[in-house]
Amino acid sequence: MKTKWIILVLIGAALLAACTPAAPAETGTGAASTPESVDAQATDAASVNAAPASAPDLFGLTYVREEEKLARDVYLFLYERWGAEVFNNIAASEQAHTDTIKSLLVVYGLPDPAVDLQPGQFADPALQALYDQLTAQGSQSLSDAFKVGAAVEEIDILDLQARLAGDLPDDIRLAYENLLSGSYNHLSAFTSALLRQTGETYVPQYMTAEAYQEALSLAVTGGNGGGGGSGGGRP
């Protein structure tokens, strides 16, 4: 139990640094297992956190690992294309998010789907197709790029909210709650950048109008990336 609380504290500290102002959960009957290659501390943590598991993805960790990688990769692509600093700022936050999920994969003895994959490459075919679609759309104009960023955050918010509605171990719940908080901030940052630089008011693409307004109300003013889009970017 002591090891579990140490992990909870470490995860909370890492995610708090990434999220400070700047799909349904699945359950089953199996138990988490730990490979022999995992060090003794991770092995102890995995045994403490052993919980009912679904096959093949325990509590959505495998999917969320690549989902956060997708956000990072899309934003880095759009930063290279347009030069708007908001993309670079938020990509750094997404890197922290995906690293946090990677650490949980180790704790629960799950393989990392993103190992050896380059930016823009995904093991999940649906995420690969989504990445290709979003980068193509975001390449059309800076306005489209900001809308793509907001759309990614909408998708993440809906997925995380659904997972948090299920029964989760404390460490995974803490991680998902912090990822969700970060997504609220990022959504606000992208929609603010769109309005500031193009005069357009963002219209949600996946969320209802009510859910979208609630998400904005939960964003922390000045969150990560919130002030990074003031420059016009490259033409």
Classify residue 192: in a domain, yes or no.
yes
Q: Tens of pLDDT along 179-192? A: 999 999 999 999 99
CATH number of the domain that 57 lies in? 1.20.1260.10
**Side-chain-facing half-sphere of 30: CA atoms under 13 Å:** 13
Task: Work out the average pLDDT over 27-45.
Answer: 36
Q: Rounded to whole angstroms, how far apart are CA atoms 158 and 179?
A: 12
Higher confidence at residue 40 or residue 178?
178
pLDDT band for 57, please (50, 70, 90 cuts): confident
DSSP E strand stretches across 64-218: none
Angle between helices 85-107 and 61-82 (to 10 degrees): 160
Task: Work out the average pLDDT over 43-48.
Answer: 37
Q: Which structural domain range is residue 43 located in?
A: 2-217
DSSP letter at 220?
P
Using a 10 angstrom Cβ sphere, with 0-12 exposed, 13-18 middle and 19 or more buried, the burial of residue 126 is exposed
Q: Tens of pLDDT along 162-178? A: 999 999 999 999 999 99
Residues 6+ apart with CB under 8 A from 163: 23, 24, 25, 59, 60, 64, 176
Classify residue 224: in a domain, yes or no.
no
Number of domains in the chain: 1
| Single-letter code of the amino acid located at 159 | D
- pTM for this model (two decimals): 0.73
pLDDT for res 221 = 54
Statement: residue 128 has pLDDT above 70: yes
Higher confidence at residue 128 or residue 231?
128
Q: Tens of pLDDT along 155-165? A: 999 999 999 99
Classify residue 118: in a domain, yes or no.
yes
